[in-house]
Amino acid sequence: MSKYLILIGLILLPTVVSARWIKDIVTINNDAVGSVAFSHYQHLDALGKNCVLCHNRIFQINPKKNRPVSMAEMEQGKSCGACHNGETAFSVKENCESCHE
Ligand code: HEC
Ligand code: HEC
Ligand code: HEC
């Protein structure tokens, strides 16, 4: 009996741990423009529960390891611009107020 419970636990664990237990809104603080909010939940809904799409290829999980990125670099495909290029998602070349208040 307990073997089955452990098995069920192991199957459920990844979905539970990787989805709603993480912090939804994380903020990226930039000296020039203040903080930009990023929603994990909205992105997981849009992309699937696929952490490795972003971690640690585009963003280090440890915020201290992410150096500030400029909009010019984003337009070249860095940071948010890896997807916000007008194809995968709306472009960083416009829609400023979608990310900046
Ligand atoms: C679409 C991109 C993207 C996806 C997918 C994503 N994250 Fe993140 N995550 C970010 C960004 C952006 C940050 C903030 C980085 C920063 O502050 O420099 C972050 C930060 C984090 C942090 C640090 C939070 C803090 O404030 O200390 C953790 C933990 C984390 N993510 C876990 C996950 C897990 C687990 C998944 C999969 C369920 C996931 N992330 C999926 C983009 C993503
Ligand atoms: C791995 C790809 C990916 C990365 C990286 C990414 N996004 Fe997104 N984002 C998406 C997709 C896909 C959508 C949904 C489609 C759309 O809105 O064009 C989205 C939607 C959004 C939305 C609209 C959410 C809503 O539904 O209202 C905001 C705001 C946003 N992203 C901000 C950011 C910010 C800020 C960053 C960088 C810190 C970022 N994204 C990085 C793929 C990504
Ligand atoms: C997909 C989300 C997103 C969109 C769209 C976006 N930005 Fe940003 N922007 C960010 C994030 C996140 C940062 C902070 C990056 C960092 O510090 O690593 C930032 C930083 C900046 C900075 C400071 C860095 C620099 O390049 O000087 C300025 C200025 C800026 N944005 C202006 C704009 C303008 C103007 C637009 C519209 C043409 C725009 N942003 C569109 C997410 C976005």
Task: Quote the ligand 2 centre to 9 CA distance (angstroms).
Answer: 31
Per the domain annotation, does 2 fall within a domain? no
Query: Distance between alpha carbon 68 and the CA centroid of its chain, in Å?
Result: 16
> Domain of 54?
23-99
Does 71 sit in the ligand 3 pocket, CB within 6 Å? yes
- The pTM for the full model equals 0.91
CB 78 within 8 A of CB 84: no
Please tell me if the CB atom of residue 58 comes closer than 6 angstroms to any atom of ligand 3. no
Identify which ligand lies nearest to the alpha carbon of 42.
2
- Over residues 6-30, the pLDDT tens digits come to 555 555 555 544 556 899 999 999 9
* SS3 label, residue 32: coil
Q: What is the mean pLDDT of residues 61-83?
A: 97
Rg from Cα positions in the chain? 17
Q: Quick one: which ligand is closest to 71's CA?
A: 3
Q: What is the pLDDT of residue 34?
A: 94
Q: Are 55 and 31 in contact (CB under 8 A)?
A: no
The model's pLDDT over 28-71, given as tens digits with 9 standing for 90+, comes to 999 999 999 999 999 999 999 999 999 999 999 999 999 999 99
Which CATH number is 89's domain given?
Answer: 3.90.10.10
